[in-house]
Each structure stands twice: as structure tokens, then as C-alpha cells.
């Protein structure tokens, strides 16, 4: 039985069509699988292998290199606390300690109710706003224990904490797996078209000598 839902199967086809070779779509498709179920299952890898002309082992081989892919269930919200140098200097490790204490799990663990997974992560590119943490990759800058507690209260109560974050966003935090809440769609009537490496033998049309460009090139 097919792994992807009907809608996601359509998205998968659309993603693959963007690349000259289907295997390039492996990482985007692993994200799609994670969006569907929160983590990457064996069935998902088998289906992605089918779609991209690879073997399931190759899909696991690629996927396991990247730390965002989870091959076991994780919490609805993945809390990433940065402890790298800029955050460390301003209290990132103390923040992580508070997160671990207040949720009752060590970094890498998930709370019993399946709500939160805590991770001790490397630099998330918010160094001037240290210390910071993210929840499902939504940023909370210049955070302290109170910020974190308020975010947890919001999430447990079903409210969006994003207004407390860096994005000034009144949307919601999607469950773990969803990154961008919207996608790029290349409209067929505007598509320039993929150029497979083995096909194009000559320069693209705008580089070829023509009345419009011949005068300036090689000049």
C-alpha cells in the first residue's frame, strides 16, 4: 500500500519534477514523510526509494547523515536549545539545564506525554540574539527561563507562542515535521524546464549569437 497520502503523493510528484535527476529529491521527500507522520518510518523509506530509483538502504544512508531526520517517534514539539559559543557565553547551558529540569528529561529525551523532545543543538544562526532556542524550528531570541516557561504554558494550553518569538508571527506552530507552512509551486505555463545533465549539448538560447545580443558578446 502506498505510504504517502493522496495529497502528499501529488506533492512528491511535483517535487521530483523540479530536479534533473530524481535522487536529488531524496532530502525534500524525507522532509515530506516527516511532515506526514512526525518521523521517518521504514515504509516511508521504501516508498521514497521507489519514487527516486534508489534502494531503501540508500535512503536510510542519506537520511541518517542529517540530524533533522528522526528515525524514531519524537514529541509533537522539538525544543532545540543552542549551547554553541555565542549562546554559551550568555547562558545557553544554563537555559538548557532549566529546560531539562522543568520538562524532566535529558537532552535527546521525550516527555512521557509525547509533547516535548529536548535537544542540545549547534549554532542556529541567531548569535546576536543569544541565548536562543527554537520550537519546531521557530525562533525565540534572547530567551531566559521565564520565556521558556511561558512558551511551554502556551503550547500545553493549545495557544500559539509565536508572538513571544522572533518572527512577530500570529500563526501557529505546526507539529514536528512541518518546516515551511507553504511551498514553492512552479506553474507549468511559467516553467523554464529542467535541464538534464546528459541532454543539453549547446549553450542556452540567450548566449547564442542573435541579432539582439551578437553585438555585445565577445566584444
Q: 102 or 107: whose CB is closer to other proteins? A: 107
As to burial, measured by CB atoms within 10 angstroms (0-12 exposed, 13-18 middle, 19+ buried), residue 45 is buried
Sign, CA torsion 182/187/188/190? negative
Minimum distance of other proteins from residue 142's CB (angstroms): 8
Question: How far are the Cα atoms of 145, 148, 176 from residue 83, in angstroms, in the given order?
Answer: 14, 15, 21
Reading the block at residue 131, the C-alpha cell is 541565548
Q: 102 or 160: whose CB is closer to other proteins? A: 160
Residue whose cell numbers read 518521523: 39
**Residue 119: how many CA atoms within 13 Å on its side-chain side?**
18
The DSSP code for 110 is B
Closest to 32 measured CA to CA, from 55, 48, 53: 48
Closest to 95 measured CA to CA, from 63, 64, 132: 132
Q: 65 or 157: whose CB is closer to other proteins? A: 65
Minimum distance of other proteins from residue 34's CB (angstroms): 9
Q: 43 or 169: whose CB is closer to other proteins? A: 169
Minimum distance of other proteins from residue 168's CB (angstroms): 5
- The residues near 186 (Cβ < 8 Å, ≥ 6 apart) are 14, 18
Minimum distance of other proteins from residue 146's CB (angstroms): 18
Residue whose cell numbers read 555565542: 86
Reading the block at residue 147, the C-alpha cell is 520565556
Q: 14 or 102: whose CB is closer to other proteins? A: 14
Q: 116 or 133: whose CB is closer to other proteins? A: 133
Minimum distance of other proteins from residue 161's CB (angstroms): 14
Minimum distance of other proteins from residue 9's CB (angstroms): 19
Q: How far apart are CA 148 and CA 150, in angstroms?
A: 5
Amino acid at each position: 500500500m502506498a505510504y504517502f497520502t493522496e495529497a502528499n503523493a501529488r506533492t512528491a510528484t511535483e517535487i521530483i519534477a523540479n530536479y534533473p535527476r530524481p535522487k536529488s529529491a531524496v532530502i525534500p521527500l524525507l522532509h515530506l514523510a516527516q511532515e506526514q507522520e512526525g518521523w521517518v518510518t521504514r515504509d516511508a523509506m521504501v516508498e521514497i526509494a521507489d519514487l527516486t530509483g534508489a534502494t531503501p538502504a540508500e535512503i536510510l544512508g542519506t537520511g541518517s547523515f542529517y540530524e533533522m531526520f528522526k528515525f524514531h517517534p519524537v514529541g509533537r514539539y522539538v525544543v532545540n536549545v543552542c549551547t554553541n559559543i555565542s549562546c554559551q557565553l550568555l547562558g545557553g547551558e544554563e537555559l538548557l539545564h532549566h529546560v531539562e529540569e522543568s520538562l524532566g528529561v535529558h537532552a535527546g529525551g521525550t516527555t512521557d506525554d509525547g509533547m516535548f523532545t529536548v535537544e542540545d543543538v549547534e549554532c542556529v544562526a541567531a548569535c546576536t540574539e543569544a541565548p536562543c532556542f527554537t520550537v519546531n524550528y521557530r525562533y525565540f531570541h534572547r530567551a531566559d527561563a521565564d520565556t521558556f516557561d511561558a512558551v511551554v504554558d502556551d503550547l500545553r494550553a493549545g495557544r500559539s507562542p509565536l508572538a513571544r518569538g522572533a518572527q512577530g508571527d500570529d500563526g501557529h506552530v505546526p507539529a514536528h515535521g512541518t518546516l515551511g507552512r507553504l511551498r514553492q509551486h512552479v506553474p507549468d505555463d511559467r516553467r523554464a524546464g529542467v535541464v538534464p545533465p546528459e541532454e543539453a549539448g549547446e549553450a542556452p538560447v540567450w548566449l547564442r549569437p542573435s541579432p539582439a545580443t551578437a553585438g555585445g558578446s565577445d566584444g
